[in-house]
Copies of this chain bind each other. A is one copy, B any other.
Amino acid sequence: MPRDVTLHAVAEAAGVSLATASRALAGTGRVSAQTVATVRRAAAELGYRVDPIARALRAGSTRIVGMIVPVIGNPFFAQLVDAVEQRLHEEGFELLLADSHGELAEEARRLAVFDDRRVDGILAVPSDRRRSGPALAGAGSPVVQVDRTSEGSATDAVGVDNQVGMRLALEHVGDRGARTLTYVGADDVTSNGVERFEAFSGLIDRMPFEAYAPIRGEFSVASGAAAADELVGRGALPDAVVTASDLIAFGLVARLREHGVVIPRDVLVTGFDGIPFAEIFSPGLTTVAQPVDAIAADAIGFLLARMRGDDSPVRRSLLAPTLVVRGSTTRDDGPVGTARGRSGTRRER
């Protein structure tokens, strides 16, 4: 369908040329205040809205930002997309959303489409720490990596400070009396998988804990459930399990329950992310909550700056998370430890 009211109509109504009308509306170039007023009035009366397609073809800017996430079905990414969409819209941009489903090839394909579509910028949650780099580096518009990073693509990045997060979780379970710990997290495919594990490992050496062999899989409920089986199979349970995501913690707790292990009575459990569901989970999940809105704001701030041509050195913003304490680490009968000693309670199903 043809446009109803074009710039041509506005120019005609205002009695000026197409060029002047364009400049008056855009507020660019030297145009008399008088002319600007006349043109703007005409545009308003006619209900003129610039055609983004024509502008994009000519000016090269689409005012669209592409965002690619591993999977929108993960509540954490849903929260992130929500925050991003809102802020982007405030800035006058639209969001083109793509889901890589964690697949590298799909990710590359979607990034290529972003290029074809001439998005002005890209927000990417890379699917693979070591292999997402090339596709990101090859993008035709500025890229900001969000939540996760990949090697080999020197772009701005915004994410949570995993070091701080892990320390919060560890100090908390320590305060609650835990002495033996098991880490349940994700493998080395993602930066968060690596960083959270390394943060845990580094901190544990300087703290009065005994750490059992870590279990590493994926950021998923299923993976947490598998970890529960593994833990129970080992025999002695730790005082606490520190996980790398809320989904993992959910799966872990749910499966431990089936094994007859009661949280927090038998084991303390912490999550990571702070998704809304952690609050209504039973028991409420103590978790390291990410400042999602701040992450979105910073990421978009970086992206807008790059889009304006900012060529300052690449920067990485690490935002501090906060600990939200709930039932999964708090028991009515006070801190664990003294009462239970260092050996975990063994529960058979």
Contacts and interface: CB of A to CB of B under 8 A. Distances in A.
A339 interface: no
A301 interface: no
Contacts of A236: none
A11 to B, nearest CB: 19
A277 B51 CA distance: 43
B62 A85 contact: no
Contact of A282 (B2, B54, B113, B257): B257
Contact of A72 (B85, B101, B113, B250): B85
A37 interface: no
B60 A57 contact: no
B78 A276 contact: no
User: Which has the most chain B C-beta neighbours within 10 Å: A1, A60, A97?
Assistant: A97
Question: Which size bracket describes the interface of A in this complex?
Answer: 35 or more
A118 B117 CA distance: 14
Copies in the complex: 2
B86 A82 contact: no
B254 A49 contact: no
A19 interface: no
Contact of A99 (B82, B96, B112, B117): B82
A10 interface: no
Contacts of A29: none
User: Which has the most chain B C-beta neighbours within 10 Å: A79, A89, A99, A277?
Assistant: A277
Interface in A120-172: 140
A222 to B, nearest CB: 10
A251 interface: yes
A97 B97 contact: yes
A294 interface: no
B117 A94 contact: yes
A73 B117 contact: no
A52 interface: yes
A281 interface: yes
Given A72-B78, A72-B82, A73-B79, A54 B57 contact: yes
Contact of A53 (B53, B75, B276, B281): B53
Contacts of A16: none
A101 to B, nearest CB: 8
Interface string A301-320: 00000000000000000000
Contacts of A282: 254, 257, 281-282
Contacts of A257: 282
Interface of A: 1-2, 49-54, 56-57, 60, 62, 64, 71-73, 75, 78-79, 81-82, 85-86, 89, 94-99, 101, 110, 112-113, 116-118, 140, 221, 250-251, 254, 257, 276-277, 279-282
8 contacts: A52-B117, A53-B53, A71-B82, A75-B75, A86-B101, A96-B96, A221-B279, A254-B282
